[in-house]
Amino acid sequence: MIHKLDLKSENLHRTFDHSYKPILTIESGDTVQLTTPDIQWGYSKEKGEPKIKFDSREKEDVNGHPIIGPIQVKGAKKGMVLEARINDLIPGWYGTNWAGGFKSWQNDQLGLTNKDKVQLDWELDISTMTGTTKIGDRELHIGLQPFMGLMGVAPAEPGVHITAPPRYCGGNIDCKELVRGSSLFLPIAVDGALFSVGDGHAAQGDGEVSGTAIEAPMDLVDITLKVHDDMNLTMPRAWTPAGWVTFGFDEDLNEATATSLDEMIQLIQKLYDVKKTEATALASTVVDLRITQVVNGSKGAHAVLPHGAIR
Strand 81-91 relative to strand 67-73: parallel, antiparallel, unpaired? unpaired
Distance CA 89, CA 151 (A): 14
Task: Give the model's confidence band at 295: pLDDT under 50 very low, under 70 low, under 90 confident, else very high.
Answer: confident
pLDDT at 92 (0 to 100) = 98
Q: Is 90 exceeded by the pLDDT of residue 106?
A: no
Distance CA 202, CA 218 (A): 9
The distance of Cα 31 from the centroid of its chain, to the nearest Å, equals 18
The C-alpha torsion from 100 through 105 and 108 to 109, rounded to 10°, is: -110
CATH architecture of the domain with residue range 242-306: Roll (3.10)
| 50 C-beta neighbours (distance < 10 Å), count | 7
Task: Give the model's confidence band at 276: pLDDT under 50 very low, under 70 low, under 90 confident, else very high.
Answer: very high
Q: Is 90 exceeded by the pLDDT of residue 192?
A: yes
pTM, two decimals, is: 0.95
Task: Give the domain ranges of the chain.
Answer: 2-91+147-229, 97-141, 242-306
pLDDT at 110 (0 to 100) = 77
What pLDDT, in 10s, does the model give residues 131-180? 999 999 999 999 999 999 999 999 999 999 999 899 999 999 999 999 99
CATH of 2-91+147-229, one of 2.60.40.1120, 2.115.10.20, 3.40.190.10, 2.60.120.580: 2.60.120.580
pLDDT at 274 (0 to 100) = 97
Average pLDDT over residues 248-266: 97
